[in-house]
Amino acid sequence: MKIAFLIHSLEINSCRYRVLQYLPYLKKAGIDVSIHLFKRTWRDKLSFYKMLGQYDIFYIHRKLFPPLEFAYIRRKARKIIYDFDDAIMYRSSSSKNPYSLSRRIKFAYMMRRVDFISAGNNFLKSEVLPYNPHVEVIPTSIDLSRYTTKEPSRQKGPVIVGWLGSSSTLKYLKNLMPIFEKLYQRYPHFQLKIVCDQFLDSSKVPVIKKKWSSETEAADLKSFDIGVMPLRDDLWSRGKCGLKILQYFSAGVPAVCTPVGINRDIVQDKVNGYWAQNDKQWEDKLLTLIQNKALRRKMGLAGRKTVENRYTVEVNAPRFLGILKKIYGRNG
Residues 81 and 20 occupy one common structural domain: yes
The least confident of 6-15, 41-50, 146-155, 216-225 is 146-155
d(CA 67, CA 71): 6
Q: Would you say residue 65 has pLDDT above 90?
A: yes
Q: Are residues 166 and 285 in the same domain?
A: yes
Residue 154, pLDDT score:
64
Residues 38 and 8: beta-carbon distance below 8 Å: yes
Q: Specify whether the CB–CB gap between 104 and 97 falls below 8 A.
A: no
Q: Does residue 304 share a domain with residue 160?
A: yes
Say whether pLDDT at 255 is over 60. yes
Q: Residue 97 above 60 pLDDT? A: yes
pLDDT attached to residue 94: 85
pLDDT value at residue 157: 87
Quote the pTM value: 0.93
Same domain, 191 and 257: yes
Q: Which domain holds residue 77?
A: 2-141+312-329
Give the model confidence (pLDDT) of 110-143 as tens digits: 999 999 999 999 999 999 999 999 999 999 999 9
Q: Are residues 79 and 209 in the same domain?
A: no
Same domain, 26 and 123: yes
Q: Where are the beta strands (DSSP E) in 45-147?
A: 57-61, 80-84, 116-119, 135-137
Average the pLDDT over each of 146-155, 188-197, 305-314 and give the range with the smallest value: 146-155
Query: 113 with 151, same domain?
Result: no
> In what side-by-side order are the strands of the sheet with 80-84?
32-37, 2-7, 57-61, 80-84, 116-119, 135-137
Q: From the DSSP assignment, how many helices (H) and strands (E) are in the chain?
A: 15, 12
Residue 324 and residue 271 share a domain: no
Q: Kindly state the average pLDDT of the residues 229-243.
A: 94
Q: Stretch 296-319: mean pLDDT, rounded?
A: 97
Residues 104 and 252 grouped into a single domain = no
Domain count, the chain: 2
Residues 305 and 213 in one domain: yes
CATH of the domain at 266: 3.40.50.2000
Residues 74 and 124 reside in one and the same domain = yes
Q: How far apart are CA 208 and CA 195, in angstroms?
A: 8
pLDDT value for 331: 67
Q: For residue range 141-164, what is the model confidence (pLDDT) as tens digits?
A: 999 999 999 888 666 789 999 999
Quickly state the pLDDT bin for 263 (edges 50, 70, 90): very high
Residues 108 and 66 in one domain: yes
pLDDT in tens, 9-23: 998 889 999 999 999
User: Residue 275 forms beta bridges with which residues?
Assistant: 257
Would you list the DSSP string of 238-302? HT---HHHHHHHHTT--EEE---TTHHHH--BTTTEEE--SHHHHHHHHHHHHH-HHHHHHHHHH
